[in-house]
Amino acid sequence: MRTALVIGGTGLIGRAVARHLLRDGWRVTVRRRVPRSWTFAHRLRWSNVQGRAGRG
């Protein structure tokens, strides 16, 4: 089974990417700051991000 890490997975694009990867048979781990409740959330692996983004 292929594995993917989706960084920023709770946003609009990350959510769509995670959903499509799952649909295509990937094992998906999502990096997140804020927990979300999605209909497919039970099929994801979750990895919390601590801290804040710094200035660029």
The per-residue b/e assignment along 25-45, b for 16 or more CB within 10 angstroms, e otherwise, is ebebbbebeeeeeeeeeeebe
Domain boundaries, the chain: 3-48
Q: Model confidence over 1-56: pLDDT tens digits?
A: 899 988 877 778 988 999 999 999 999 888 766 555 666 777 777 666 555 544 44
pLDDT of residue 49: 57
pLDDT of residue 55: 47
